[in-house]
Amino acid sequence: MSKTASAESERLSKLLSEELELYEKIRKMTEEQAKLLAKDDIEAFNISLDKREKLIEEIKGLHQESTPLMQSYASMSSSGKNSTVEELIKKIREALEACAQLNDENILFLKEKTENLTKEIDEKSAKRKGIGGYVQSVPNNPEMFDKKT
């Protein structure tokens, strides 16, 4: 491996390590978001989503820098590839899969919760309409209520 290829591989390894670290933070945040959803702490959940978005922006920046290095690395023969880079790529894929799965679980939880709340609102609305029929039959005469008996 030439000095340039070695330096590129080292730089790629560093960038991938930073990306992996950020993906792990996102995974932990997504786990925490599930707990926030279970506690109905929507405000904290939204704050967590904002923080996660900032991490994603950081990853985009790192990814933008690592893309040319990754393309160069991918074109290398298998004998010239760095085992550290290969391991980091594998770990990043695993972290991404874990984040995607956790995110899907959170979305499913929110969807079910939304459906349940919609049903509750519909039921209460139907009860309110039923009560409305009785309210109309009650006399609305102020004299009736103002009399002192």
pLDDT (0 to 100) of residue 149: 52
pLDDT 10s digit of each residue in the chain, 149 long?
567 777 888 899 999 999 999 999 999 999 999 999 899 898 999 999 999 999 999 999 998 999 998 888 888 777 667 788 999 999 999 999 999 999 999 999 989 988 988 888 888 777 666 666 555 555 566 655 555 55
pLDDT (0 to 100) of residue 21: 97
> Domains of the chain by range and CATH?
3-136 (1.20.58)
pLDDT (0 to 100) of residue 83: 85
- Determine the Cα–Cα distance for residues 149 and 11; give it in Å rounded to an integer: 91
pLDDT (0 to 100) of residue 47: 95
